[in-house]
Chain A
Amino acid sequence: MAEAAQMTVSDEVAISIENMNKWYGTFHVLRDIDLTVYRGERIVICGPSGSGKSTLIRCINALEEHQQGSITVDGTLLSSDIKNIDVIRSEVGMCFQHFNLFPHLTILENCTLAPIWVRKIPKKEAEETAMHFLEKVKIPEQADKYPGQLSGGQQQRVAIARSLCMKPRIMLFDEPTSALDPEMIKEVLDTMIELAEEGMTMLCVTHEMGFARQVANRVIFMDQGQIVEQNEPEPFFSNPQSDRTKLFLSQILGH
């Protein structure tokens, strides 16, 4: 898996964020964010809580509204036009900290729902695709169970499979392992690593620095709503430039 970090990154732009600002009421959560993500890039975003990292990736698929600047995803400009938002959302997969599986539907139904209703794919074909991705995340035998019967790690892998069933070109991960027991973290990270090796464009908010070292080709450190530092993982961890980054790294790597 060491070659993961050397995987090719094309010069095609997947996401471009220009001068983006966001406020919650009068609180300035995101300040002058400029970020260009190329296709095939794997970006890890880290930072203390409240630094706006989750808000940033939630802005990319319009779960949060930004007030200034522009976000362009796959060539589609994110505006208040609902049509554009739906187009972007169906191209961008997202995994949440608390999985957010649909508890009233079986695992298989969770995975086929969006392909059937949004992509208008025939049910049979959608089920085949779903089983393919469930096998990929190594839980095809759970297809007929309900989310409540699965462990946290299994649920998060289902959530990843559910996103993949929409054949997204970009995946967003919002602290996918933060709600998991330590022994389940590995199974989810393994799934994500596999995904990265296949060349998926990924933006990942996480505190798993081992994952960042192994998979990311860029690490972004955010604090107080700003991008403080970004670099390739090796120099980022061994030679951080800003004092804030140094402090943060010493705190999370200190033990």
Chain B
Amino acid sequence: MPTDTSNVAFVRTETLPEKAPPASETGIVKWLRENLFAGWANSLLTLLAIWAIYIILSSILPWLFGGLWTTSSLSECREILQGRVGGCFSVLTERWNQLLYGFKYPNDQYWRPNLALVLLFFAAAPVLFFDLPRKLLIFTGLYPFLAFWLIWGGAIAVPIVALLGVVAGYVVFDRLGKQTFAGGFFGGIAAAILVWVLGMALIPETASENALLESVPSRDLGGFMLNLMLGVTCVSLSLPIGIALALGRQSNMPLIKWICVVFIEFIRGVPLITLLFVASVMLSYFFPPESTVDLFLRVVIMITVFSAAYIAEVIRGGLAALPKGQYEAADSLGLDYPQAMQLIILPQALKISIPGIVNVAVGLFKDTTLVSVISMFDLVGMIRGPILASTEWNGVYWELLGFAAALFFVVCYGISQYSQWLERRLATDHR
């Protein structure tokens, strides 16, 4: 400013040099002032929070870092600790394999589920990240059969026949589906079943005895592996079924509509645990005594059916949120129903439904621990059963259940992060 205030006219002749802002407006000081000490109430809350964090950490950290990892029983832990605070994490190291694979899976075969898990990432990648080349989806299509063979072992002919059945079903659907959808749909299912029945009849009884991979029955599966298997299988099955149910519920054909409505409402009205009991106990009353429908399969069906009903309702919400104009625009361009759904309606409806679907998926994954109630030895089943019941580890609760919580947290947090990335990636509305 000019010093002579009587002179109003003013011309700047040189540019003022840039000055550093005051210390209270930059860096950590500014951040602290704005976020932690913006007022007396805010400062008080900050101090209270720091105190609470201190209390929590001061009891957890010594327990975590003072813990023992190499003892062979809880009583040995207690002897060494002598009343000092410290976790007895030796149970995790000693029972590591049991926690992950259950207690019956053959020890020398652990590489098989491990390989299946590694391959799962390759199979899931092109589905989750659609910027990857679409040709990778071929591996995704083959993966279920490969994983089945790796985990259960036995005759390689079984997954091959299963794959052939699916291929036959698809070919028939593709041929007949061009004329009428219903013809293709039922024709495809009939062809698949025909191939399966014929194929299974052709496989000799003894095929699994000297197979390349030793056969492991379903009841020998367990641990966190079982949770992951149930979670992955059921989520990937219930999403397409849920979409079909949601579309079916909107159908103009009364029969299809009512089948879907009754199915969804019935399943939603029943607790999952009831369905699991039906799977483990009741279903065997309905099948002929000599037929042995695998317990794993029965449980997969029940969990899938359960979450499909929920996903269907989530997607119905997404469909309802779409403006009617989108349907009309698709119609007016001459797109037929499958094209309109695949290209216009579902991409948008599913995008809207992502948070809800992820909610169901995370819930489903955690609900797989309910199978411990019907005496399957998943992670929680292993902890509650063989491990806590053993004389060495009777009474080690925090370490075991904390470990289980940590495993589930990692997976669920991963799912949630993925869904947030997906929502950002798909955001095209620029609001």
A residues sitting closer than 8 Å to B (CB atoms) are: 61-63, 82, 86-87, 89-90, 92-94, 96, 98, 100-104, 113-114, 117-118, 146, 148-149, 162-163, 166
Whether A114 contacts B334 in the complex (CB less than 8 A), given A100-B325, A104-B347, comes out as: yes
**Which of A96, A101, A118 is the one whose CB lies under 8 Å from B334?**
A118
Instruction: Pick from A90, A100, A166 the residue with the most CB of B within 10 Å.
Output: A100
A-B complex: 5 closest residue pairs judged by Cβ atoms: A90-B334, A100-B329, A100-B325, A114-B333, A94-B332
Give the Cβ gap from B293 to chain A, nearest Cβ, in Å: 40
Chain B residue nearest to A101 in the complex (CB): B329
Known pairs A90-B333, A117-B335 / 14 extra A-B pairs, C-beta < 8 Å: A63-B328, A86-B334, A93-B332, A94-B332, A96-B325, A100-B328, A102-B326, A103-B428, A104-B428, A117-B339, A118-B334, A118-B335, A146-B428, A148-B429
CA distance A197 to B92 in the complex (A): 81
Please report the C-alpha to C-alpha distance between residue A100 and residue B334 in the assembled complex, in whole angstroms. Answer: 15
Q: Shortest beta-carbon distance, A185 to chain B, in Å?
A: 20
CB pair B344 A102 closer than 8 Å: yes
Q: Is the CB of B332 within 8 A of A149?
A: no
Measured CB to CB, the residues of B under 8 A from A are 323, 325-326, 328-329, 331-336, 339, 343-344, 347-348, 351, 426, 428-431
Interface pair B333/A162, CB less than 8 Å apart: yes
Query: Do residues A61 and B332 form an inter-chain contact, with CB atoms below 8 A?
Result: yes
Say yes or no: B329 contacts A118, CB within 8 Å: no
Task: Return chain A residues, CB-CB under 8 Å to B426.
Answer: 104
B334 touches A148 (CB 8 A): no
CA distance A117 to B339 in the complex (A): 8
- Are A146 and B347 in touch, CB under 8 angstroms? no
| Pairwise interchain contact B333-A89, C-beta atoms closer than 8 A | yes
- Pair B335/A114 contact, Cβ less than 8 Å: yes
Q: How far is the CB of A136 from the nearest CB of chain B, in Å?
A: 18
Chain B residues with Cβ below 8 Å from A149 are 430
Complex partner residue of A113 from B343, B348, B351, B430, CB under 8 angstroms: B343
Contact B429 A103 (CB under 8 A): yes
* Chain B residues, CB < 8 A from A102: 326, 329, 344, 348
Q: With a CB–CB cut-off of 8 A, which chain B residues contact A114? A: 333-335
Chain B residues with CB under 8 Å of A86's CB are 334, 336
Give the distance to chain B from A201, nearest Cβ to Cβ, in Å.
16
Q: How many Å from the CB of B284 to the closest CB on chain A?
A: 46
Residues of the A chain whose Cβ atoms lie less than 8 Å from the Cβ of B344: 102, 113
A167 → chain B closest CB, angstroms: 11
**B428 lies within 8 A of A148 (CB):** yes
Q: Of B323, B334, B430, B431, which is in contact with the most chain A CB atoms at under 10 Å from its CB?
A: B334
Residues of A within 8 A of B351 (CB): 104
The chain A residue sitting closest to B348, CB to CB, is A104
Give Cα A61 to B335, complex, Å: 13
Nearest B residue (CB) for A165: B333
Chain B neighbourhood of A61, CB < 8 A: 331-332
Residues from chain A with Cβ under 8 Å of B429 in the complex: 103, 146, 148
Q: A61-B332, A89-B332, A102-B329 are in contact. Are A148 and B430 (CB under 8 A)?
A: yes
- A/B interface sample: 11 pairs, CB < 8 A: A89-B331, A104-B347, A114-B334, A118-B335, A146-B429, A146-B430, A148-B428, A148-B429, A148-B430, A148-B431, A149-B430
> How distant is the Cα of A94 from the Cα of B339 in the complex, in angstroms?
18
Complex: A230 Cα to B339 Cα, angstroms: 39
- Smallest Cβ distance from B271 to chain A, in angstroms? 37
Whole-angstrom CA separation of A96 from B430 in the bound complex? 22
Task: State the CA gap A99–B343 with chains docked (Å).
Answer: 18
B325 to chain A, nearest CB (A): 4
- Quick check: A63 and B332 within 8 Å, CB to CB? yes
A104 to B347 Cα, complex, angstroms? 8
Question: CB-CB < 8 A to B323: which residues of A?
Answer: 98, 100
Q: Is the CB of B329 within 8 A of A96?
A: yes
The complex places the Cα of A98 from the Cα of B325 at a distance, in Å, of: 8
Set of chain B residues within 8 Å of A87, measured between Cβ atoms? 334
Residues in B with CB closer than 8 Å to A101 are: 329
A103 and B426 CA atoms in complex are apart in Å by: 11
Distance, CA A42 to CA B197, complexed state (A): 64
Complex Cα distance, B351 from A163, in Å, reads 26
Contacts of B334 in A (CB 8 A): 86-87, 89-90, 114, 118, 166
Q: How many angstroms between the C-alpha atoms of A82 and B252 in the bound complex? A: 14
Which residues from chain B contact A113 at a C-beta distance below 8 Å? 333, 335, 343-344
**Would you call B336 and A166 a contact (CB within 8 A)?**
no
A residues near B347, Cβ cutoff 8 Å: 104
Assuming the contacts A61-B332, A89-B331, asked whether A103 and B431 have C-beta atoms less than 8 A apart, the reply is no
CB pair A96 B328 closer than 8 Å: yes
Q: Quick one: which of B328, B331, B333 has the most chain A CB within 10 A?
A: B333
Closest chain B CB from A40 CB (angstroms): 22
A86 to B328 Cα, complex, angstroms: 13
Contacts of A162 in B (CB 8 A): 333
The complex places the Cα of A90 from the Cα of B339 at a distance, in Å, of 14
CB of A118 within 8 A of CB of B431, answer no
A96 to B343, CA, bound (A): 20
Q: How many angstroms between the C-alpha atoms of A135 and B326 in the bound complex? A: 25
CA–CA, A92 and B430, complex, Å: 31
**In whole angstroms, how far apart are the Cα atoms of A118 and B347 in the complex?**
18
A171 CB to closest chain B CB (Å) equals 11
Could you say which residues of chain A place their CB within 8 Å of the CB of B331? 61-63, 89
When C-beta atoms are compared, the residue in chain A nearest to B332 turns out to be A94
Q: Closest B-chain residue to A58, C-beta based?
A: B328
Chain B residue at minimum C-beta to C-beta distance from A118:
B334
How distant is A217 from chain B, measured CB to nearest CB, in Å? 24
Distance from A105 Cβ to chain B, minimum over Cβ atoms (Å): 8
Of chain B, the residue at the smallest CB distance from A116 is B343
Closest to A117 in B: B339
In the complex, the answer to whether B335 meets A100 with C-beta atoms within 8 Å is no
